[in-house]
Amino acid sequence: MIPVHLNAVATAVPPFLFEQPDIERRMRAQFGDSAMVARLLPIFANTGIERRYSCVPIEWYYDEHRWADRNAIYRENAVALIEEATIRALERARIAPDRIDAIVSVSTTGLATPSLDALLMERLPFGRHTTRLPIVGLGCVGGALGLARAADLVRSGSFSNVLFVAVECCTLWFRRNEMTKSNIVATALFGDGAAAAVLSSTGTGPRLVASGEYTFARSLDIMGWDVADDGLQAIFSRDIPALIARELRAILDDFLARNHLRLEDFDAFLSHPGGTKVLEALEGIFAVAPGSLRDSRAVLREYGNMSSVTLLFVLERALREGALASLDARRALLTAMGPGFTAAFLTLER
Protein backbone atom coordinates (compact mmCIF):
# COMPACT_ATOMS: atom_id res chain seq x y z
CA MET A 1 0.00 0.00 0.00
CA ILE A 2 1.21 3.50 -0.85
CA PRO A 3 2.19 5.37 2.34
CA VAL A 4 0.67 8.76 3.18
CA HIS A 5 3.04 11.17 4.91
CA LEU A 6 1.76 14.26 6.72
CA ASN A 7 4.66 16.51 5.78
CA ALA A 8 3.32 19.82 7.09
CA VAL A 9 0.47 21.41 9.04
CA ALA A 10 -0.04 25.17 9.35
CA THR A 11 -2.75 27.41 10.76
CA ALA A 12 -3.99 30.99 10.46
CA VAL A 13 -6.39 33.23 12.37
CA PRO A 14 -8.09 36.53 11.46
CA PRO A 15 -6.93 39.80 13.06
CA PHE A 16 -9.61 40.53 15.68
CA LEU A 17 -9.03 38.99 19.11
CA PHE A 18 -11.99 38.66 21.50
CA GLU A 19 -11.55 37.99 25.21
CA GLN A 20 -14.28 35.75 26.62
CA PRO A 21 -15.20 37.96 29.63
CA ASP A 22 -15.64 40.95 27.31
CA ILE A 23 -18.00 39.01 25.05
CA GLU A 24 -20.02 37.95 28.08
CA ARG A 25 -20.38 41.56 29.24
CA ARG A 26 -21.50 42.67 25.80
CA MET A 27 -24.01 39.84 25.58
CA ARG A 28 -25.48 40.89 28.92
CA ALA A 29 -25.81 44.45 27.64
CA GLN A 30 -27.39 43.21 24.40
CA PHE A 31 -30.00 40.91 25.93
CA GLY A 32 -30.61 42.58 29.31
CA ASP A 33 -30.98 40.98 32.72
CA SER A 34 -33.91 38.64 32.15
CA ALA A 35 -34.18 35.34 34.00
CA MET A 36 -33.18 33.47 30.82
CA VAL A 37 -30.07 35.60 30.37
CA ALA A 38 -29.11 35.05 34.00
CA ARG A 39 -29.48 31.31 33.51
CA LEU A 40 -27.57 31.09 30.22
CA LEU A 41 -24.68 33.56 30.56
CA PRO A 42 -22.67 31.33 32.96
CA ILE A 43 -22.08 29.21 29.84
CA PHE A 44 -19.35 31.69 28.88
CA ALA A 45 -17.35 31.02 32.04
CA ASN A 46 -17.88 27.26 31.84
CA THR A 47 -16.64 26.73 28.28
CA GLY A 48 -12.94 26.57 29.16
CA ILE A 49 -12.39 29.29 26.54
CA GLU A 50 -10.36 32.42 27.29
CA ARG A 51 -10.13 34.04 23.87
CA ARG A 52 -11.15 33.65 20.24
CA TYR A 53 -10.53 35.29 16.87
CA SER A 54 -13.02 36.89 14.50
CA CYS A 55 -13.04 38.15 10.92
CA VAL A 56 -14.80 41.36 11.97
CA PRO A 57 -14.35 43.83 14.85
CA ILE A 58 -16.67 43.62 17.84
CA GLU A 59 -18.53 46.77 16.76
CA TRP A 60 -19.71 45.00 13.61
CA TYR A 61 -22.13 42.92 15.68
CA TYR A 62 -24.04 45.98 16.88
CA ASP A 63 -25.72 46.44 13.49
CA GLU A 64 -28.08 44.34 11.40
CA HIS A 65 -26.51 42.37 8.55
CA ARG A 66 -28.21 40.49 5.75
CA TRP A 67 -27.32 36.93 4.81
CA ALA A 68 -25.71 38.15 1.57
CA ASP A 69 -23.54 40.68 3.40
CA ARG A 70 -22.34 38.09 5.89
CA ASN A 71 -21.55 35.60 3.15
CA ALA A 72 -19.56 38.18 1.19
CA ILE A 73 -17.41 38.79 4.28
CA TYR A 74 -17.06 35.01 4.70
CA ARG A 75 -15.84 34.54 1.14
CA GLU A 76 -13.30 37.38 1.34
CA ASN A 77 -11.86 36.25 4.67
CA ALA A 78 -12.00 32.51 3.98
CA VAL A 79 -9.85 32.83 0.86
CA ALA A 80 -7.35 35.12 2.59
CA LEU A 81 -7.04 32.75 5.56
CA ILE A 82 -6.51 29.58 3.53
CA GLU A 83 -3.97 31.42 1.40
CA GLU A 84 -2.01 32.36 4.53
CA ALA A 85 -2.19 28.84 5.96
CA THR A 86 -1.31 27.28 2.60
CA ILE A 87 1.80 29.42 2.12
CA ARG A 88 3.05 28.37 5.55
CA ALA A 89 2.29 24.69 4.98
CA LEU A 90 4.01 24.61 1.58
CA GLU A 91 7.06 26.33 3.03
CA ARG A 92 7.24 23.83 5.89
CA ALA A 93 6.86 20.93 3.46
CA ARG A 94 9.44 22.52 1.11
CA ILE A 95 7.20 22.02 -1.87
CA ALA A 96 6.21 24.48 -4.62
CA PRO A 97 2.53 25.06 -5.41
CA ASP A 98 2.90 23.63 -8.91
CA ARG A 99 3.85 20.24 -7.43
CA ILE A 100 0.44 19.90 -5.75
CA ASP A 101 -1.68 17.42 -7.68
CA ALA A 102 -4.98 17.93 -5.85
CA ILE A 103 -6.63 20.32 -3.39
CA VAL A 104 -9.27 19.15 -0.91
CA SER A 105 -11.16 22.02 0.73
CA VAL A 106 -13.59 21.83 3.65
CA SER A 107 -15.88 24.55 4.98
CA THR A 108 -19.41 24.79 6.35
CA THR A 109 -19.88 28.39 7.44
CA GLY A 110 -20.48 30.03 4.07
CA LEU A 111 -21.00 29.54 0.37
CA ALA A 112 -18.55 30.14 -2.48
CA THR A 113 -19.14 29.28 -6.12
CA PRO A 114 -16.58 29.00 -7.67
CA SER A 115 -15.43 27.04 -4.63
CA LEU A 116 -12.68 28.12 -2.25
CA ASP A 117 -10.06 25.89 -3.87
CA ALA A 118 -10.68 27.53 -7.25
CA LEU A 119 -10.37 30.98 -5.66
CA LEU A 120 -7.15 29.87 -3.97
CA MET A 121 -5.74 28.75 -7.33
CA GLU A 122 -6.08 32.31 -8.60
CA ARG A 123 -3.87 33.57 -5.76
CA LEU A 124 -1.06 31.00 -5.81
CA PRO A 125 0.74 29.41 -8.81
CA PHE A 126 -0.80 25.94 -8.72
CA GLY A 127 -0.75 23.90 -11.90
CA ARG A 128 -3.75 24.32 -14.16
CA HIS A 129 -4.36 20.54 -14.11
CA THR A 130 -4.70 20.42 -10.32
CA THR A 131 -7.68 18.31 -9.23
CA ARG A 132 -10.15 20.07 -6.92
CA LEU A 133 -12.40 18.43 -4.33
CA PRO A 134 -14.55 20.92 -2.36
CA ILE A 135 -16.53 19.44 0.55
CA VAL A 136 -19.33 21.25 2.40
CA GLY A 137 -21.64 20.41 5.29
CA LEU A 138 -19.33 18.33 7.49
CA GLY A 139 -19.17 20.84 10.33
CA CYS A 140 -16.96 19.88 13.27
CA VAL A 141 -16.09 16.47 11.82
CA GLY A 142 -14.71 18.07 8.65
CA GLY A 143 -11.10 18.27 9.81
CA ALA A 144 -10.88 14.52 10.35
CA LEU A 145 -12.89 13.49 7.30
CA GLY A 146 -11.11 16.02 5.08
CA LEU A 147 -7.75 14.58 6.12
CA ALA A 148 -9.09 11.10 5.42
CA ARG A 149 -10.30 12.06 1.93
CA ALA A 150 -6.98 13.73 1.12
CA ALA A 151 -5.12 10.63 2.35
CA ASP A 152 -7.32 8.43 0.15
CA LEU A 153 -6.28 10.46 -2.90
CA VAL A 154 -2.59 9.91 -2.13
CA ARG A 155 -3.19 6.24 -1.34
CA SER A 156 -4.93 5.74 -4.69
CA GLY A 157 -1.63 6.21 -6.49
CA SER A 158 -3.00 8.92 -8.79
CA PHE A 159 -1.81 11.87 -6.67
CA SER A 160 1.65 12.31 -5.14
CA ASN A 161 1.06 15.57 -3.27
CA VAL A 162 -2.32 16.67 -1.94
CA LEU A 163 -3.11 19.94 -0.20
CA PHE A 164 -5.91 19.88 2.37
CA VAL A 165 -7.38 23.20 3.51
CA ALA A 166 -10.14 23.94 6.01
CA VAL A 167 -11.60 27.30 6.99
CA GLU A 168 -14.52 28.45 9.11
CA CYS A 169 -15.87 31.91 9.92
CA CYS A 170 -18.33 30.85 12.59
CA THR A 171 -18.60 34.21 14.35
CA LEU A 172 -20.19 35.91 11.35
CA TRP A 173 -23.45 34.14 12.05
CA PHE A 174 -24.24 35.61 15.47
CA ARG A 175 -27.90 36.61 15.41
CA ARG A 176 -28.24 39.70 17.57
CA ASN A 177 -32.03 39.46 17.98
CA GLU A 178 -32.20 35.72 18.69
CA MET A 179 -32.41 35.19 22.44
CA THR A 180 -32.33 31.38 22.41
CA LYS A 181 -30.13 28.86 24.16
CA SER A 182 -28.61 27.59 20.91
CA ASN A 183 -27.63 31.13 19.88
CA ILE A 184 -26.11 31.87 23.29
CA VAL A 185 -24.17 28.59 23.29
CA ALA A 186 -22.88 29.21 19.75
CA THR A 187 -21.81 32.73 20.72
CA ALA A 188 -19.95 31.34 23.73
CA LEU A 189 -18.14 28.60 21.80
CA PHE A 190 -17.25 29.47 18.24
CA GLY A 191 -14.25 31.23 16.73
CA ASP A 192 -12.75 31.70 13.27
CA GLY A 193 -9.63 30.17 11.75
CA ALA A 194 -8.07 28.20 8.91
CA ALA A 195 -5.57 25.39 8.48
CA ALA A 196 -3.66 23.66 5.71
CA ALA A 197 -1.88 20.32 5.51
CA VAL A 198 0.38 18.76 2.88
CA LEU A 199 0.02 15.01 2.37
CA SER A 200 2.47 13.15 0.13
CA SER A 201 3.46 9.64 -0.89
CA THR A 202 7.04 10.42 0.14
CA GLY A 203 8.63 12.44 2.92
CA THR A 204 9.73 12.33 6.53
CA GLY A 205 6.47 13.33 8.23
CA PRO A 206 4.36 10.91 10.28
CA ARG A 207 2.10 8.58 8.31
CA LEU A 208 -1.68 8.65 8.22
CA VAL A 209 -2.44 4.95 8.28
CA ALA A 210 -6.04 4.02 9.10
CA SER A 211 -9.26 5.99 8.95
CA GLY A 212 -12.90 5.25 9.56
CA GLU A 213 -16.24 6.83 10.32
CA TYR A 214 -19.59 5.92 11.83
CA THR A 215 -22.87 7.76 11.25
CA PHE A 216 -25.49 7.24 13.95
CA ALA A 217 -29.00 6.27 12.90
CA ARG A 218 -31.82 8.76 13.47
CA SER A 219 -29.39 11.46 14.56
CA LEU A 220 -29.87 14.27 12.02
CA ASP A 221 -31.23 16.66 14.65
CA ILE A 222 -28.29 16.34 17.04
CA MET A 223 -25.99 18.92 15.45
CA GLY A 224 -25.99 21.24 12.45
CA TRP A 225 -27.09 24.60 11.05
CA ASP A 226 -30.51 25.88 10.04
CA VAL A 227 -30.62 28.67 7.46
CA ALA A 228 -32.50 31.72 8.73
CA ASP A 229 -33.15 35.07 7.03
CA ASP A 230 -30.46 36.78 9.09
CA GLY A 231 -27.88 34.01 9.25
CA LEU A 232 -27.18 30.45 10.31
CA GLN A 233 -28.88 29.09 13.41
CA ALA A 234 -26.87 26.52 15.36
CA ILE A 235 -28.43 23.18 16.27
CA PHE A 236 -27.08 21.54 19.43
CA SER A 237 -28.45 18.66 21.41
CA ARG A 238 -27.82 18.67 25.14
CA ASP A 239 -27.46 14.88 24.84
CA ILE A 240 -24.19 14.97 22.85
CA PRO A 241 -21.84 14.29 25.83
CA ALA A 242 -24.14 11.56 27.13
CA LEU A 243 -24.39 9.98 23.66
CA ILE A 244 -20.61 9.98 23.35
CA ALA A 245 -20.12 8.48 26.81
CA ARG A 246 -22.76 5.82 26.18
CA GLU A 247 -22.00 4.66 22.64
CA LEU A 248 -18.66 5.86 21.30
CA ARG A 249 -16.43 3.30 23.04
CA ALA A 250 -18.08 0.35 21.28
CA ILE A 251 -17.80 2.15 17.92
CA LEU A 252 -14.14 2.97 18.58
CA ASP A 253 -13.38 -0.61 19.63
CA ASP A 254 -14.87 -1.85 16.37
CA PHE A 255 -12.70 0.57 14.35
CA LEU A 256 -9.60 -0.51 16.24
CA ALA A 257 -10.37 -4.23 15.87
CA ARG A 258 -10.85 -3.88 12.11
CA ASN A 259 -7.38 -2.31 11.94
CA HIS A 260 -5.74 -4.81 14.32
CA LEU A 261 -5.19 -2.19 17.01
CA ARG A 262 -5.96 -1.75 20.69
CA LEU A 263 -6.45 1.38 22.74
CA GLU A 264 -3.21 0.56 24.57
CA ASP A 265 -1.28 0.91 21.30
CA PHE A 266 -1.63 4.71 21.31
CA ASP A 267 0.74 7.17 22.93
CA ALA A 268 -1.43 10.23 22.28
CA PHE A 269 -5.07 11.14 21.75
CA LEU A 270 -5.88 14.22 19.67
CA SER A 271 -9.55 15.14 19.62
CA HIS A 272 -11.68 17.91 18.23
CA PRO A 273 -12.62 19.88 21.38
CA GLY A 274 -16.32 20.45 20.91
CA GLY A 275 -16.52 21.62 24.51
CA THR A 276 -15.31 20.74 27.99
CA LYS A 277 -18.06 18.17 28.63
CA VAL A 278 -17.22 16.42 25.36
CA LEU A 279 -13.54 16.30 26.31
CA GLU A 280 -14.41 14.88 29.72
CA ALA A 281 -16.48 12.15 28.06
CA LEU A 282 -13.64 11.36 25.64
CA GLU A 283 -11.09 11.09 28.45
CA GLY A 284 -13.32 8.49 30.05
CA ILE A 285 -13.59 6.57 26.79
CA PHE A 286 -9.82 6.64 26.23
CA ALA A 287 -9.29 5.56 29.86
CA VAL A 288 -6.91 8.44 30.57
CA ALA A 289 -6.79 10.75 33.58
CA PRO A 290 -9.07 13.82 33.65
CA GLY A 291 -7.35 16.73 31.92
CA SER A 292 -5.08 14.45 29.86
CA LEU A 293 -6.22 15.80 26.48
CA ARG A 294 -3.92 18.78 26.97
CA ASP A 295 -3.50 19.76 23.32
CA SER A 296 -7.25 19.74 22.72
CA ARG A 297 -7.91 21.72 25.90
CA ALA A 298 -5.19 24.26 25.08
CA VAL A 299 -6.60 24.91 21.59
CA LEU A 300 -10.13 25.24 22.99
CA ARG A 301 -8.84 27.69 25.59
CA GLU A 302 -6.85 29.85 23.15
CA TYR A 303 -9.03 29.72 20.02
CA GLY A 304 -12.47 28.35 20.90
CA ASN A 305 -14.31 25.87 18.72
CA MET A 306 -13.51 26.63 15.07
CA SER A 307 -15.62 23.76 13.74
CA SER A 308 -13.73 21.70 11.13
CA VAL A 309 -10.51 23.66 11.56
CA THR A 310 -10.01 22.91 15.25
CA LEU A 311 -8.58 19.40 14.93
CA LEU A 312 -5.85 20.75 12.63
CA PHE A 313 -4.91 23.30 15.30
CA VAL A 314 -4.72 20.46 17.83
CA LEU A 315 -2.58 18.42 15.46
CA GLU A 316 -0.20 21.31 14.76
CA ARG A 317 0.20 22.00 18.47
CA ALA A 318 0.79 18.33 19.28
CA LEU A 319 3.52 18.06 16.63
CA ARG A 320 5.18 21.35 17.60
CA GLU A 321 5.13 21.30 21.39
CA GLY A 322 2.55 18.84 22.67
CA ALA A 323 1.89 15.12 22.82
CA LEU A 324 3.73 14.29 19.56
CA ALA A 325 6.74 16.59 20.04
CA SER A 326 8.72 13.77 21.65
CA LEU A 327 10.14 11.07 19.40
CA ASP A 328 8.97 8.57 22.03
CA ALA A 329 5.39 9.20 20.92
CA ARG A 330 4.96 6.73 18.08
CA ARG A 331 1.23 6.49 17.44
CA ALA A 332 -1.70 8.88 17.90
CA LEU A 333 -5.45 8.53 17.55
CA LEU A 334 -7.30 11.49 16.00
CA THR A 335 -11.04 11.81 16.60
CA ALA A 336 -13.81 14.24 15.73
CA MET A 337 -17.59 14.29 15.69
CA GLY A 338 -20.03 16.42 13.76
CA PRO A 339 -23.32 16.71 11.89
CA GLY A 340 -24.69 13.48 10.59
CA PHE A 341 -24.27 12.65 13.54
CA THR A 342 -20.88 11.18 12.61
CA ALA A 343 -17.77 10.08 14.46
CA ALA A 344 -14.44 9.96 12.60
CA PHE A 345 -11.15 8.27 13.50
CA LEU A 346 -7.63 8.42 12.07
CA THR A 347 -4.35 6.90 13.19
CA LEU A 348 -1.05 8.74 12.87
CA GLU A 349 2.25 6.86 13.12
CA ARG A 350 5.88 7.90 13.02
**β-strand 192-200 against 5-12: which pairing, if any?**
antiparallel
Bond into 114 cis (ω within 30): yes
Instruction: State which amino acid sits at residue 27.
Output: M
Greatest extent of the chain over all pairs of C-alpha atoms, in Å: 61
Helix, strand, coil % (nearest 5) of the chain?
45, 25, 30
Q: Among positive and negative, which fits the CA dihedral 123, 126, 128, 131?
A: negative
Is 140 designated active site?
Answer: yes
Q: Which of 55, 140, 169, 170 is catalytic?
A: 140
CA distance 24 to 4: 44
Burial class (CB in 10 A: 0-12, 13-18, 19+), 15: exposed
Contact between 304 and 191 (Cβ < 8 Å): yes
Residues sharing a CB contact under 8 Å with residue 239, sequence separation 6 or more, in sequence order = 222
So which residues are the catalytic ones? 140
